[in-house]
Structure formats: structure tokens, C-alpha cells
Structure 1
Amino acid sequence: MAANAKRTSNVKLCSLSTVFRTYHHHDQQRRSA
């Protein structure tokens, strides 16, 4: 059970970082444009 919760939070963290990276990338493009 604990391992399952850990994996779920890990997946959440991964998707969160991906979203953040994508947003940051778009933000940089917008600023340079």
C-alpha cells in the first residue's frame, strides 16, 4: 500500500514537472518574441 502511494505521488511529480517545464519554455519564447 505504501509503495503504491509512493508510485502515485512520483507520477504526479513527473507530470507536474513536465507541465512546469512546458510552461517555462513557452514563457521564454513569449519573452524573446
Structure 2
Amino acid sequence: MDNQFLSQKQLRQLKSYTLNMFPVKDVSEIKK
């Protein structure tokens, strides 16, 4: 997935989805 093709709204939705899917410690790794 290329972030260039995602709108800011989609990025926020993706972050929310990711937060729900992974433990906080893993999310911190993803955000890097």
C-alpha cells in the first residue's frame, strides 16, 4: 500500500484499525 494514494481521512482510519489490531507495544514499532 502506497501512502501517497491515501487521503488523510483514510490514513486516520488505517491508524485506528491498526491500533485495534495490534498491542500498543507493536503499534509503537509500526509508527516508526
Q: TM-score, normalised on structure 2?
A: 0.49
* Rg larger for: 1
Q: TM-score, normalised on structure 1?
A: 0.48
Higher percent of residues as helix: 1
Could you say which structure has the greater relative contact order, defined with CA pairs below 8 angstroms and 6 or more residues apart?
2
